[in-house]
A and B are shown apart, each in its own frame.
Chain A
Amino acid sequence: MDDLLLWLLAILSIASALGVIGSSQAVHSALSLTVNLLVMAVLYLFLGAEFLGLAQVLIYAGAVMVLFLFAVTLLAPREEALFHLKGNPSRLLGLFVGMVLAVMLAALMTRYPQTAASPDFHGSIQAFGKLVSSAYVLPFEATAFVLLVALMGAVVLGKKEPRG
């Protein structure tokens, strides 16, 4: 049952990824990415990271994707002629590099030993909260600071230039 579900999820995630890079309309890409991120969230749950799965849905599939869709609809970019590969060597090269990268990474992954799942791996919110408020309090605060700076940056960038 689980196996079947996992295979389905894998196929779904790859398909949606192909959708992201393959749709000529940016809105379609964004929607495919949403699907991809949701699938990821489920995979996180499978791996036992409950909190991260939830955070993925909230932050990525929720906030970030809303931002993306907002930008896409705001800018209404032109349709991209994707399959005009002739006379576009850099695009062909990109395709080639990406594929080779995937193969090489996969080859690297085969070096990872077949180990059993760790028994004391609890990705619950409780365990997580304890950790980020004790051992990892500094990185946690730094993350908060980064978010604040990003917020300010966005405000500065988005402000209309005063005339004159």
Chain B
Amino acid sequence: MFWAALFLPLMVGLTLLFYGPKLGRKLAMSLACGSVGAGFVSSLLTFLHPPQSPDQVLFVWLHLGDAVVDFGALIDPLSITMLLTVTGVGFLIHLYSTGYMADEPEYPRFFGYLNLFVAAMVMLILANNFALLLLGWAGVGFASCMLIGFYQDRPSALMAARKAFVINTFGDLGLMAAVFVLANQGSVAFRDTLATPSDEGAIIVVLGLLVAAYAKSAQFPLHTWLPDAMEGPTPVSALIHAATMVTAGVYLLVRCQPILGSVPEMGALIAAMGLVSAALAATCALAQTDLKRILAYSTMSQLGYMFMACGVGAYGAAIFHLVTHAFFKALLFLSAGTIIHALHGEQNIFKMGGLARVKELSTARWSFLIGGAALAGIFPLAGYFSKEEILTAVHHDGVTQALFYGGLLTSAITAFYFGRAYILVFWGDREHEHPHAATALMNGACWVLLLLTVGAGAALGWPTNPTLEHYLHAVPVAGNLGEGLLLMCATALPGLGLAYAMFKTRPDGPAKGAIFRWAEQGWALDDVQRMLVIRPLQVLGRMFGRNIEDAVSHSMPDRVGSTAVQAGSELGLMQNGLLRTYALVLLTGLMGAIVYLLWQVQG
């Protein structure tokens, strides 16, 4: 039954890509939404009636050396949780896209790739072994690349797509290394590798998994593609680059917790790197002028929190934050999309302003406000519960309290940059002419996500009753409502207050100063990457191109070809077409055979 969540979007995606233009707008859109909706329903049914055995094998897919690779699914609470999140949010964003992409002539391609993405993501989640996971892993990277570069007439979009693809492929290499090491040990199935993780080569496996997770989840230092990925259509940013695909790294770490557990020293490193990513991204978000880039950096920052949770072993908290983040970040992106849609593609927050007075955008305004408040961690929204749980877990872990205080500071910065963005977008008295009204479906999707953002946190993770963690059989973090509220007062409220104090008279342009420009460029890490990786590779490539490629791939094949031609024309002279010559040659050959026999056969 859960296979419907994989195969329906897959079939519809391929159909739309091949026959999309012939189907007509209405049919294409209803097919796309319907398949993902059906996927959500099937996930829901799987949740209500989980199969007897968690390991569901469809057929044997590959033989990797001695390892047999099944095409099978692992249906456990973790994958069901992810499945519900992905298909649920995916369905809402599909509905939203029908309005957002209504004017786009190439909507079949958009929906085709979006469905393909959902299928790949579902495969990634369902996979019961690393090889199948790798297939989904690469599939989401591909779909993401095609969707980032959806606006093919924009060179910046194509560049961003290429960048995302290259960095993601680098991550795929890490995952492949892990898969090969595991296959070498006899099995890539989760039931073997996770039940009894082998110490041999564990460090390579863990490093490979980390590289893969960092690339996919845009963590420092492999994060530079995510801000650029905002070149894609906003629903894509919402679905892929906020709610689902980028969280695959977290899912991978949670899924592989027994393997991570076999190298305990890595935990502190993962947590520290998570904090670095979270803090770095939050500071970058402070200085952005593009609404979507703010959200992109904020996504990276929240993913940093999830990695931090994984690092200290609070896997349940990580998944909890993943789920709530999927809700509120999708909500933020969708409301941002509505705003951008309304302003005919304007993304600069300094050119917005005064949107609070635009009647058509009241849903977007409330969505943005609630989503942002959840991001900042305001009680009782979803983000509050999950983030406090992570901070509590880090606090209790006691490796070093620096992580905890860093997390608190980042949380304050988060509240500050959200406050800044909200004030710059909605306050002030700028007039906007002919805003583009959102359709009912767009607003409807926002409302559903808004309800989830308000309610899901309390329902799934009330400190004394962490439903989700019980469901996941994770060790719950012993949280305390009072302490959490105290933390909120210490971080989110000061951040918001500071934002109010600094921006209440709405400035007309970004702050000047080198440090702001530096932060806006993402601390110039792109340039660092260009210097350290791209330049040397280019130099190497040019050297190979000039010195070696010419010899190896140009003149050598040429010479092979010309030699063959010459040999042919010279050997052709032997074929003079005269029957008697042929007979002579034949008889000479016969003589050779007789000589051989004379030499071999003894009388």
- Does a CB–CB distance below 8 Å link A and B in the complex? yes
A residues 116-141 near B (Cβ < 8 Å) are none
A113 to chain B, nearest CB (A): 7
Asked if residues B590 and A101 are in contact (CB atoms below 8 Å), the reply is: yes
Q: How far is the CA of A105 from the CA of B595 in the complex (A)?
A: 9
Is B464 among interface residues, defined by CB-CB distance under 8 A?
no
Contact A111 B587 (CB under 8 A): no
- CA A113 to CA B602, docked complex, whole Å: 10
B580 touches A108 (CB 8 A): no
Which of chain A's residues 77-97 have a Cβ closer than 8 Å to chain B?
90, 93-94, 97
Contacts A97-B584, A113-B603: A107 and B598 contacting too (C-beta < 8 A)?
A: yes
Closest CB in chain A relative to B144 CB, distance in Å: 63
Whether A111 contacts B602 by the Cβ 8 Å rule is yes
Interface flag for A47 (CB, 8 Å): no
Contacts of B591 in A (CB 8 A): 97, 100-101, 104
| Any A CB within 8 A of the CB of B465 | no
Given contacts A100-B591, A104-B594, A104-B598, contact A110 B584 (CB under 8 A): no
- Cross-chain contact A110 with B588 (CB below 8 angstroms): no
- Interface membership of B486, Cβ < 8 A: no
Residues of B within 8 A of A108 (CB): 594, 597-598, 601
Bound CA–CA A111/B603 (angstroms): 4
The answer to whether B587 and A101 have CB atoms under 8 Å apart is yes
CA distance A108 to B595 in the complex (A): 9
Q: Is B30 an interface residue (CB 8 A)?
A: no
Within 8 Å CB of B595, what residues of A?
104
Q: Is A153 an interface residue (CB 8 A)?
A: no
Residues from chain B with Cβ under 8 Å of A112 in the complex: 603
B581 at the interface (CB under 8 A from A): yes
Q: Is the CB of B603 within 8 A of A90?
A: no
A94 adjacent to B584 (CB under 8 Å): yes
Tell me whether B594 and A110 are in contact (CB under 8 A).
no
Contacts of B601 in A (CB 8 A): 108, 111
Shortest CB distance B593–A (Å): 10
Q: With the chains together, A102 CA to B584 CA distance in Å?
A: 14
Q: Which of under 10, 10 to 19, 20 to 34, or 35 or more describes the interface residues of A? A: 10 to 19
CA–CA, A108 and B601, complex, Å:
8
- Pick the contact of A101: B594, B602, B603 (CB < 8 A): B594
Task: Output the nearest chain B residue to A104 by Cβ-Cβ distance.
Answer: B594
CB neighbours of A105 from chain B (8 A): 594
- Decide: A97 and B594 in contact? CB cutoff 8 A: no
**Do B594 and A98 touch across chains, with their CB atoms under 8 A apart?**
no
A90 CA / B590 CA spacing, docked (Å)? 18
Query: B residues within 8 A CB of A113?
Result: 603
Q: Is the CB of A97 within 8 A of B588?
A: yes
- Using Cβ atoms and an 8 Å threshold, which residues of chain A touch B598? 104, 107-108, 111
Cα–Cα distance between A104 and B580 once the two chains are bound (Å): 21
CB neighbours (8 Å) of B578 from chain A are 90
Residues of B within 8 A of A100 (CB): 591
Overall SS of chain B's interface: helix
Distance in angstroms between the alpha carbons of A55 and B138 in the assembled complex: 75
- CA A101 to CA B584, docked complex, whole Å: 11
Contacts of A97 in B (CB 8 A): 584, 587-588, 591
Does B587 contact A110, Cβ atoms closer than 8 Å? no
CA distance A101 to B588 in the complex (A): 9
Cα distance A31–B602 in the bound complex, in angstroms:
40
A110 touches B580 (CB 8 A): no
Cα–Cα, bound, A101→B583 (Å):
13
**For B587, what are the chain A residues with a Cβ–Cβ distance below 8 Å?**
97-98, 101
CB distance from A119 to the nearest CB of B (A): 24
Q: Are A110 and B603 in contact (CB under 8 A)?
A: yes
**Chain A residue nearest in CB terms to B597:** A108
The chain A residue with its CB closest to the CB of B580 is A90
Q: Which residues of A contact B590 (CB under 8 A)?
A: 101
Complex: A113 Cα to B590 Cα, angstroms = 23
Which residues from chain B contact A93 at a C-beta distance below 8 Å? 584
CA distance A56 to B598 in the complex (A): 31
- The CA of A16 and the CA of B578, in the complex, are separated in Å by 27
CB 8 Å contact bits of A65-77 with B (1 = contact, 0 = none): 0000000000000
Min CB gap A149→B, angstroms = 23
- CB contacts (< 8 Å) of B597 on chain A: these are 108
Complex Cα distance A104/B587, Å?
12
Chain A residues within 8 Å of B584, by CB: 90, 93-94, 97
- In whole angstroms, how far apart are the Cα atoms of A110 and B594 in the complex? 13
Q: How far is the CA of A118 from the CA of B83 in the complex (A)?
A: 86
Encode contact with A along B556-593: 1 for CB under 8 Å, 0 otherwise.
Answer: 00000000000000000000001011011001101100
A89 to B594, CA, bound (A): 24
User: Which B residues are CB-close (under 8 A) to A107?
Assistant: 598
* Residues from chain A with Cβ under 8 Å of B581 in the complex: 90
- Look across to chain A and name the residue whose beta carbon is closest to the beta carbon of B598: A108
A contact residues around B594 at 8 Å (CB): 101, 104-105, 108
**Distance in Å: Cβ of A80 to nearest Cβ of chain B:** 13
Interchain CA distance A104-B603 in the complex, whole Å: 14
Nearest to B583 among chain A residues (CB) is A94
Whole-angstrom CA separation of A112 from B594 in the bound complex: 14
CA gap between A101 and B590 in the complex, in Å:
8
Enumerate chain B residues within 8 angstroms of A98, measured Cβ to Cβ: 587
B18 to chain A minimum Cβ distance, whole angstroms, is 47
**Separation in Å of the B588 CB from the closest CB of chain A?**
6
> Which B-chain residue is minimally distant from A111 (CB atoms)?
B603
Residue of B nearest to A100 (CB): B591
Chain B residue at minimal CB-CB distance from A96: B584
- Per the bound structure, the CA–CA distance linking A104 and B590 in Å amounts to 10
In the complex, residue of chain B having the shortest beta-carbon distance to the beta carbon of A91: B580
CB-based nearest B residue for A90: B580
- Rounded to whole Å, the gap between the CB of A138 and the closest CB of chain B is 28
- CA distance in complex: A105, B590 (Å): 10
Residues of A within 8 A of B602 (CB): 111
Residues on B with C-beta less than 8 A from A90 are 578, 580-581, 584
CA of A91 to CA of B580 in the docked complex: distance in angstroms? 9
B3 CB → nearest A CB, Å: 53
Query: In the assembled complex, how far is the CB of residue A40 from the closest CB belonging to chain B, in whole angstroms?
Result: 21
Question: Which of B578, B581, B595, B603 has the largest count of A CB atoms less than 10 A from its CB?
Answer: B603
A111 neighbours in B (Cβ, 8 Å): 598, 601-603
Q: What are 17 A-B pairs at a CB distance below 8 A?
A: A90-B578, A90-B580, A90-B581, A94-B580, A94-B584, A97-B584, A97-B588, A98-B587, A101-B587, A101-B594, A104-B591, A104-B598, A107-B598, A108-B597, A108-B598, A111-B601, A113-B603
Supplied contacts A93-B584, A101-B590, A107-B598, 9 more A-B pairs, CB within 8 Å: A90-B580, A90-B584, A94-B583, A94-B584, A98-B587, A100-B591, A101-B591, A104-B591, A111-B603
8 closest residue pairs by CB, A with B:
A111-B603, A104-B594, A97-B587, A111-B601, A108-B598, A108-B597, A108-B594, A94-B584
